[in-house]
A and B are shown apart, each in its own frame.
Chain A
Amino acid sequence: MHPILKLLVQRIALGLLLLLAASVLIFVGTTVLPGDVAQNILGQGATPQALENLRQQLGMNDPAHVRYFNWLGGVLQGDLGTALTNGQDIATSMGQRLGNTLFLAFWAAVVSVPLAIGLGLIAVRYRNRWPDKVISTITLATVSVPEFLLGYIAIFILSVQFRALPSLAMINESMSLGEQLYAISLPVLVLVLTVLGHMMRMTRAAILNVMQSAYIETAELKGLAPFTIIYRHAFPNAIAPVVNVVMLNLAYLVVGVVVVEVVFVYPGMGQYLVDHVAKRDVPVVQACGLVFAAVYIGMNIIADVVSILANPRLRHPK
Chain B
Amino acid sequence: MADNLLTITGLKIEATAYPPGEPPKEITLVHGVSLELEKGKVLGLIGESGAGKSTIGLSSMAYGRGGVRLTAGTVTLNGRDIRLAAPGALRALRGREVTYVAQSAAAAFNPAKRLMEQVIETSLAHGLMGKAEAEARAVMLFGKLGLPNPETIGRRYPHQVSGGQLQRVMTAMALCPKPDLVVFDEPTTALDVTTQIEVLAAIKEAIRDTGVAALYITHDLAVVAQVADHIMVLRQGRMVEYGTTAQIIETPQEAYTQALVSVRSIDHVEKPEAPSVLSVAHVTARYRGTTFDVLKNVTVDLPAGQTLAVVGESGSGKSTLARVITGLLPAAQGKITFAGRSLSPALAQRTKDDLRELQMIYQMADVAMNPRQTVGTIIGRPLEFYFGLTGAAKRQRVQELLDQIEMGKGYIDRYPAELSGGQKQRVCIARALAAKPKLIICDEVTSALDPLVADGILKLLLALQAQENVAYLFITHDLATVRAIADRIAVMYRGEVVRYGTKTDVLSPPFDDYTDLLLSSVPEMELGWLEQVIASRRMVAAGN
**A residues within 8 Å of B by Cβ?**
213-215, 217-225, 228, 233, 236-237, 310, 312-313, 316, 318
Contacts and interface: CB of A to CB of B under 8 A. Distances in A.
Contact of B112 (A219, A223, A237, A318): A237
A190 to B, nearest CB: 36
4 smallest beta-carbon distances between A and B, as pairs: A223-B94, A223-B95, A214-B107, A236-B112
Contact of A219 (B92, B93, B110): B110
Interface in B68-110: 90-96, 99-100, 102, 104, 107-110
Given A214-B107, A237-B110, A223 B125 contact: yes
Contact of B110 (A215, A228, A310, A316): A215
Contact of A223 (B96, B104, B109): B96
Contacts, number: 71
A224 B125 contact: yes
A215 B125 contact: no
A318 B160 contact: yes
Contact of A221 (B94, B111, B113, B156): B94
Interface in B115-170: 121-122, 125-126, 156-157, 159-160
Contacts of B125: 222-224, 228
Contact of A316 (B94, B126, B160): B160
Nearest to A235: B112
Contacts of B65: 217
Nearest to A310: B112
B94 A313 contact: no
A220 B94 contact: yes
A22 to B, nearest CB: 32
B108 A217 contact: yes
Interface string B370-388: 0000000000000000000
A199 to B, nearest CB: 21
A228 B122 CA distance: 12
A221 B107 contact: no
Contacts of B109: 215, 218
Given A221-B95, A221-B100, A222-B94, A213 B107 contact: yes
A300 B356 CA distance: 49
Contact of B157 (A219, A221, A237, A312): A312
B122 A222 contact: yes
23 contacts: A214-B107, A214-B108, A215-B107, A215-B110, A218-B100, A219-B110, A220-B63, A221-B63, A221-B99, A221-B100, A223-B91, A223-B92, A223-B94, A223-B96, A223-B122, A223-B126, A224-B121, A225-B91, A237-B110, A237-B111, A237-B112, A316-B160, A318-B159
B278 to A, nearest CB: 36
- Which of A220, A225, A236, A318 lies at the interface centre, i.e. has the most chain B CB atoms within 10 A of its CB? A220
Nearest to B159: A313
Contacts of B107: 213-215
Per DSSP, chain A at the interface is helix
B61 interface: yes
B102 A236 contact: no
A217 B170 CA distance: 14
Interface in B431-462: none
Nearest to A318: B160
A297 B52 CA distance: 53
Contacts of B99: 221-222
B110 A223 contact: no
B108 A218 contact: yes
A239 to B, nearest CB: 8
A313 B65 CA distance: 29
B159 A236 contact: no
Given A223-B122, A223-B125, A223-B126, A218 B93 contact: no
B108 A222 contact: no
B157 A316 contact: yes
B206 to A, nearest CB: 19
A222 B160 contact: no
Contact of A214 (B91, B104, B121, B126): B104
A186 to B, nearest CB: 40
A236 B113 contact: yes
A214 B102 contact: yes
Contacts of B111: 215, 237, 312-313
Given A214-B104, A217-B108, A218-B102, 8 more contacts: A214-B102, A215-B109, A215-B111, A218-B109, A218-B110, A224-B91, A237-B111, A316-B159
A318 B165 CA distance: 14
- Which of A220, A223, A225, A312 lies at the interface centre, i.e. has the most chain B CB atoms within 10 A of its CB? A223
Contacts of B110: 215, 218-219, 233, 236-237
A237 B156 CA distance: 17
Contacts of A316: 156-157, 159-160
B157 to A, nearest CB: 5
A199 B159 CA distance: 30
A24 B157 CA distance: 45
Nearest to A221: B100
Contacts of B92: 223
A222 B61 CA distance: 10
- Which of B93, B107, B110, B157 lies at the interface centre, i.e. has the most chain A CB atoms within 10 A of its CB? B110
A174 to B, nearest CB: 49
Contacts of B122: 222-223
A312 B159 contact: yes
Contacts of A310: 112
A215 B169 CA distance: 14
A312 B112 contact: yes
Interface string B461-490: 000000000000000000000000000000
Nearest to B104: A214
- Which of A215, A224, A228, A312 lies at the interface centre, i.e. has the most chain B CB atoms within 10 A of its CB? A215
A221 B125 CA distance: 12
A217 B63 CA distance: 10
A223 B100 contact: no
Nearest to B111: A312
A219 B111 CA distance: 13
A313 B90 CA distance: 34
Contacts of B108: 214-215, 217-218
A6 to B, nearest CB: 15
Contacts of A220: 63, 94
Contacts of B63: 220-221
A68 B121 CA distance: 60
Contacts of A214: 102, 104, 107-108
A228 B156 CA distance: 22
A83 B246 CA distance: 94
A132 B542 CA distance: 63
A1 B93 CA distance: 48
Contacts of B160: 316, 318
A120 B125 CA distance: 24
A170 to B, nearest CB: 47
A215 B122 CA distance: 14
Contacts of B113: 233, 236
Contacts of B95: 221-224
Contacts of A213: 107
A284 B96 CA distance: 67
